[in-house]
Chains A and B, each alone.
Chain A
């Protein structure tokens, strides 16, 4: 039974304006898009971009709390030399807390791989993948508190309510798989911005992230709501019921006449039924080979939790989810840096390296952009005797796969790592670059709201060209045009 063929495209288009179509049908979970029913399928299949894309999807490994860059990937030998001496230049006008003198890193650094990238002992497994990693060591934001910094990273603004990065991607590209959401966030924090970090703000609700679990929840019971029929109802019974539902709906339609919205709603049940057949398969990790599970560290108690997230992310990406975010907490060591950073790094190191290796082995790393980072870095100066304070003035992220240069390092901080100084990369620049890799021009991915066109990057943002494996010249349109609504 095919509902879709019953809609006459030329007719429906008269009935519903394009703006309304985009506003209410969108490409939600599984990409049920009215417009796709109207024969505009490019967005569905991913061929709608401003320019050829290097990455088709994103996995964002978000380290909530702010991992210390000077203890992980941004090596500062002078910190050891000048340990306990005052910072020889001024601290920022606004600080989150008071800090004292410089503090050496408790970990030693060494070079890795052919590229010779620096990494500390905190990340032995990730360091082995150094030749795949593209380090960006000169990132800076504007907010010195977690909430503001999280919102800045996720939505581009710590002042106004704005759609999240994943929502923009989902709005721009739709879903690769009709039966799965375009944007999934696994166990995000519900504090520090909460839903806003994966919300759609003024974009249609269909573009918001589908949340699976939350921080602190049980990672063994991660699922999308309502994928299982009610107790006592078999698939067959439900299928039969839906056939009656369609007939019931058609009888009702008789009283109204042909209406695109109502017709589409009838079709949405067929999609939903297919989705509940397919989605649980991707969510269920029990069928994964033990070898693959082991690669992620599923077999060890302290890595199991994040391993599960990473493995789920890999599977969802493989199945066609555009943007998957994993979240890990809580890297906020105002004290006891050594003890807690050690523990936290050990929880994620192996799962992350496993994810990279797995994606590579499956040929997915090529067009999947993996991103690692937190909401800010930490101060090279000590807070108390053994902690570091928030530092939005300099931090390091790395990217891998999806069109970035592996074994490459971009930008630099000052000799102690307090401020980004060379080839500085603002959060807007990061966003512009991520969109660029996905084939979207951040200046043309706009949405009209309250009388003006909004973007993820507000009025700023420059693509960080040096980190691109291939510089894509200009942004000639392929099958597109200005992506805007209204």
Chain B
């Protein structure tokens, strides 16, 4: 078909699809309504896809493997506006500044804005207020704690092994902190990727810190759950390799390759040979230090800091453990639980071990090069049924024409080649997948709504050209995540109100067109941090909530008191065999597997938490206690202060009236004095209200 005709046809089909979409949406009969809406959305999707040059082509190749499209046409909004125009419906207006600062602050830092920050922002009339606020938030160390945590979901970060033998990972936290720091420093994503797969194989750096970072980054490959007591040790090793392939391919490429262990991928262009070509790379990498009865993982010594620094760190740790020990012993006094007995023994043991060891060299969970080997295809993935011929490691058929994996050197595992291939700016998946993840974390839903499945069975992009444009700009910016945040957050799309709209609700109930801001329930960590922060109970230092776990690599199924530590949620221990109840209630993931996005369930336990949990009561009373100091003591000032602290806005007239009614019912004393108890109950209600838990 001549090119101009092709494009004309596409344009016509786009209009036709939009027309159909409108038609269906007008079927407003009782039972047709939902149906019409669904069909409407479907047609809309077709319309969007048709606008995508790569899509309507004859080729059946997977869309996500095609090269990125060239043009971006000046930003996010033009692409979205096109859809609104075609639909003939305007999107929601822009949200007010109160709503926006709460949204942006939680979004980038996982914490609520303070009353002062809100007032400053609302009163700053300049055009640059938004950009300035975004810059301030991106520069805050809280940013890495929030966005690093997103990353930790993907790489199943935890502080214990889980699986069969739940041994402590005393050094996993260094990887956690590396991730947080990398986000804070806006480390280019391609570098971040390469460090985590092949940090030890990159050209040596003279900088001790850089070199330490690179070894630490390899923790990504090392922190998976392992069947340490599996007695079929060959199986154990293959299972470790399998787990690494799964994490790497889903995290960076958005493809599940692991199912090709037993058979060619059913839907995606991944063969069993590809799997074993990757398996060869990781089999040639050493993850396990030994495979004795209970096997042990590799730890590597970090490049040494000075002796003085080591002594200082040692003294600090001894002091910390001693403090913890006395706390545990006090606790033991008034508890019959066996747990606290266990805890104080564990701390004692850790302290003894530390003192005996002296100021040692820091170690990290890591991997190192193993014996380079190619491995054969295993029949049905069974290591007892190897095929006859080995597969050249690294030689995978995926993208072999456009962008083959560099030939793997004979004496190397191939991790470096794999990492370079992924980090290549021509790789069609890596930038698209990451840009879509960032979009997902900002909006609650991605342009592709299956962030870790860009395969045949995954979702298709709602705005393919926009996705490609963002990916291209991401690459051009030197893989800068902070630039990407700015691009997204300065858009009108990010600023809309969350209000529902009758017509849109029918035409696009899933909000794929982004006509409104999707209200999002806070995840477990920002929720818990917000409760503590608003009431002044959160300690923003990194602290040390891991305590004994860092010095004692025994079995840890309990770490009494650890979840009560006042530090940010990201620094609390993650014990794979025992998830903190508060987190479990609010959908904290199973830290044993890659998680593409959090679910947001609605369960009565969550209501029970707000009604009865001691954490909430404690926060509420702390907040009321402090409010006179920070908010002024008259009733209106205090009420305003609570609204600003918890909901980032002032009460409406109706809300003030409701509050007055509440006071009347509580029979406030004649002199108008409101007791702390009455205040506490009211603050408790604001904290339990929808708006506290939901980001609008």
Contacts and interface: CB of A to CB of B under 8 A. Distances in A.
Interface stretch (A240-248, A347-355, A360-368): A240-248
A192 B662 CA distance: 52
Nearest to B594: A450
Contacts of A32: 602-604
Contacts of B336: 218
A264 interface: yes
Interface stretch (A146-154, A307-315, A320-328, A434-442): A146-154
Contacts of B132: none
A206 interface: yes
A259 B502 CA distance: 11
A191 B557 CA distance: 6
A161 B453 contact: no
Contacts of A244: 658, 662, 685
B113 interface: no
Contacts, number: 255
Interface in A124-183: 143-148, 150-151, 158-159, 161
A271 B607 contact: yes
B553 to A, nearest CB: 15
User: Could you say which of A194, A262, A275 has the most chain B C-beta atoms within 10 Å of its C-beta?
Assistant: A194
Nearest to B262: A459
Contacts of B609: 226
B590 A161 contact: yes
A158 B498 contact: no
B614 interface: yes
Interface string B571-609: 000011111010010011010110000011111111111
A259 B500 contact: yes
A17 interface: yes
B602 A190 contact: no
A232 B690 CA distance: 25
Contact of B602 (A199, A237, A268, A273): A268
A227 B603 contact: no
Contacts of B602: 24-25, 32, 34, 261, 264-265, 268
A66 interface: no
A422 B115 CA distance: 73
A247 B662 CA distance: 11
A202 interface: yes
A32 B681 CA distance: 26
Contacts of A265: 602, 607, 690, 693
A218 B690 contact: no
Interface in A85-113: 93-96
B612 A230 contact: yes
B501 interface: yes
A237 B681 contact: yes
Contacts of A231: 617
B505 to A, nearest CB: 6
B522 interface: no
B603 A28 contact: yes
Interface stretch (A7-15, A49-57, A282-290, A461-469): A7-15
A38 to B, nearest CB: 11
Interface stretch (B186-194, B223-231, B275-283, B344-352): B223-231
A263 to B, nearest CB: 9
Nearest to B238: A159
A269 B603 CA distance: 10
Interface stretch (B13-21, B26-34, B431-439): B26-34
Contact of A195 (B338, B510, B590): B590
B453 A248 contact: no
A253 interface: yes
Given A14-B37, A194-B576, A205-B601, A261 B689 contact: no
Interface residues of A, number: 93
B4 interface: no
A193 B684 contact: no
B338 A253 contact: no
B582 to A, nearest CB: 9
A481 interface: no
Contacts of A266: 690
Contacts of A116: none
Interface in B616-635: 616-617
B387 interface: no
User: Could you say which of A202, A208, A244 has the most chain B C-beta atoms within 10 Å of its C-beta?
Assistant: A244
Interface residues of B, number: 96
Interface in A208-251: 208, 214, 216-218, 225-233, 237-238, 240-242, 244-245, 247-249, 251
Interface in A1-33: 10-11, 13-17, 23-26, 28-30, 32
Contacts of B601: 23-26, 28, 204-206
B338 A275 contact: no
A226 B231 contact: no
Given A225-B581, A269-B607, A271-B604, A451 B576 contact: no
B41 to A, nearest CB: 9
A450 B459 CA distance: 11
B120 interface: no
Nearest to B261: A159
B337 interface: yes
Given A201-B590, A201-B593, A248 B612 contact: no
B686 interface: yes
Nearest to A179: B604
B229 A145 contact: yes
A275 to B, nearest CB: 6
Contact of A256 (B162, B499, B606): B499
A115 interface: no
Contacts of B694: 262
Interface in B482-520: 498-501, 505-506, 509-510, 519
B603 A248 contact: no
Nearest to A210: B605
B457 interface: yes
A473 B608 CA distance: 44
B333 to A, nearest CB: 16
Nearest to A240: B665
Nearest to A231: B617
A303 interface: no
B302 interface: no
Contacts of B576: 194-196
A451 B456 CA distance: 8
Contacts of A206: 601, 603
A23 B588 CA distance: 14
Contacts of B259: 452
Nearest to B598: A205
A107 B31 CA distance: 69
Contacts of A199: 590
A194 B658 contact: no
B124 interface: no
Contacts of B232: 93-94
A276 B689 contact: no
A258 interface: yes
A96 B256 CA distance: 33
B498 A256 contact: yes
A272 to B, nearest CB: 4
User: Could you say which of A17, A161, A271 has the most chain B C-beta atoms within 10 Å of its C-beta?
Assistant: A161
Interface in B235-264: 239, 242, 250, 256, 259
Contacts of B675: none
The 6 closest A-B pairs by CB, nearest first: A147-B164, A194-B577, A190-B557, A257-B500, A272-B607, A145-B229
Given A24-B601, A146-B229, A273-B611, 12 more contacts: A14-B33, A15-B509, A24-B600, A144-B231, A147-B228, A148-B230, A150-B164, A151-B164, A199-B590, A218-B337, A252-B691, A269-B611
6 contacts: A24-B600, A26-B603, A148-B164, A205-B601, A230-B617, A257-B501
Interface of A: 10-11, 13-17, 23-26, 28-30, 32, 34, 93-96, 143-148, 150-151, 158-159, 161, 189-196, 199-202, 204-206, 208, 214, 216-218, 225-233, 237-238, 240-242, 244-245, 247-249, 251-253, 255-259, 261-262, 264-266, 268-269, 271-273, 275-276, 450-452
